[in-house]
């Protein structure tokens, strides 16, 4: 893997245009040289993943223009020339606070926030409509990309709504209803729909975490809180964008060894030299 030094982080901010959930201005604010901190929390729940960014000393003009709660935020982080997306989503709140001679702009975001809260569907699908077609339509109404897993498509291949299908209300609720009927769970990861069976992992190659590849300290493996639950591994590494919910990680350390499915990851960063970590939680696979 790439050498984990010479940290970098880049922030891009786009302003929404009109009511279309995917319509944003072509004028994008790109922030890399200003000091900013971030905290990204991602998990496997259907509720939006979150990100909080605090930017120091934006100009008065930029502060005035970056006021819309539906701003599109894209955050990349990594090292040297190897920088990858760790979060994209919509602003929930934007606050500008003066601290002495400095200004701090805090942007709190949710992944797929606009679509989760405001995406609506009011549609009757004709007889013979495929299940996958209905799922894609709901994703489109939520403004997210429907990169549907091959496993899900294989299971529902050929399945249709013989008598048609009617959907009314929030698109996220209707999506949940359809996928539950087939035993699937869903989440939005960087504005893409992720569909998995309970306990299943994505098909991506596992991320190997060792002291030589960024693992820090001693991972822990706790006993299950309740009977029937799996133990929980917790580990910290230097920030790695590839650690995502649903992906497998291979942990090799003196205290813990094994393969785990990531259920939660928190990326924290400070472009002025503070935190730059990925803290994960996972379960054995």
Tell me the pLDDT of the chain (285 aa) as tens digits.
Answer: 456 778 999 999 887 766 655 666 666 788 988 999 999 999 999 999 999 999 999 999 888 888 766 788 999 999 988 899 999 998 989 999 998 889 999 999 999 888 898 899 999 999 999 998 899 899 999 988 876 665 677 777 788 999 999 999 999 999 999 999 989 999 999 999 999 989 999 989 999 999 999 999 999 999 877 777 889 999 999 999 999 999 999 999 999 999 999 999 999 999 998 899 999 999 999
Which candidate, 22, 17, 25, 44, places its Cα nearest to that of 118?
22
- State how far the Cα of 285 lies from the Cα of 270, in Å rounded to an integer: 33
Distance of CA 89 to the CA centre of its chain: 8
- State how far the Cα of 62 lies from the Cα of 10, in Å rounded to an integer: 16
CATH superfamily of the 207-284 domain:
Bacteriophage T4, Gp27, baseplate hub, domain 3 (2.40.30.150)
pLDDT computed for residue 85 by the predictor: 96
Write down the pTM of the prediction. 0.91
Beta bridge mates, 87: 75
- Which region holds residue 42: left if phi is over 0, alpha if psi is between -120 and 50, else beta? beta
pLDDT computed for residue 121 by the predictor: 94
What's domain 7-114's architecture? Beta Barrel (2.40)
Which candidate, 177, 179, 127, places its Cα nearest to that of 148?
179
Which candidate, 245, 265, 269, 133, places its Cα nearest to that of 188?
245
119-196 domain in CATH 3.40.50.300? no
E strands present in 68-180: 72-79, 82-99, 102-110, 120-125, 129-130, 160-161, 165-170
pLDDT computed for residue 1 by the predictor: 46
What residue spans define the domains of the chain?
7-114, 119-196, 207-284
Distance of CA 283 to the CA centre of its chain: 19
């Amino acid at each position: 893997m790439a050498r984990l030094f010479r940290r970098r982080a880049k922030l891009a901010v786009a302003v929404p245009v009109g009511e279309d959930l995917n319509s944003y201005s072509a004028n994008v604010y790109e922030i890399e040289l200003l000091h900013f901190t971030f905290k990204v929390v991602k998990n496997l729940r259907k509720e939006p993943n979150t990100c909080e960014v605090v930017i120091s000393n934006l100009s008065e003009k930029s502060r005035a223009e970056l006021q819309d709660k539906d701003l599109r935020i894209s955050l990349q982080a990594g090292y040297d020339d190897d920088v990858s997306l760790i979060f994209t989503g919509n602003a929930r709140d934007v606050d500008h606070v003066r601290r002495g001679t400095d200004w701090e702009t805090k942007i709190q975001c949710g992944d797929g926030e606009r679509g989760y809260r405001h995406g609506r569907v009011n549609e009757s699908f004709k007889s013979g409509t495929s299940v996958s077609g209905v799922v894609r339509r709901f994703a489109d109404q939520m403004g997210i990309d429907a990169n549907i897993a091959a496993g899900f498509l294989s299971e529902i291949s050929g399945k249709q709504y013989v008598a048609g299908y009617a959907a009314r209300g929030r698109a996220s609720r209707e999506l949940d209803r359809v996928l539950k009927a087939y035993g699937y769970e869903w989440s939005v990861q960087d504005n893409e729909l992720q569909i998995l069976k309970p306990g299943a992992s994505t098909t991506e190659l596992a991320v190997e975490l060792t002291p030589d590849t960024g693992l820090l300290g001693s991972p822990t493996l706790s006993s299950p809180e309740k009977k029937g639950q799996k133990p929980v591994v917790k580990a910290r590494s230097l920030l790695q964008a590839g650690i995502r919910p649903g992906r497998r990680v291979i942990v090799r350390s003196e205290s813990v060894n094994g393969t785990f499915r990531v259920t939660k990851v928190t990326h924290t960063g400070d472009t002025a030299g503070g935190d730059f970590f990925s803290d994960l939680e996972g379960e054995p696979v």
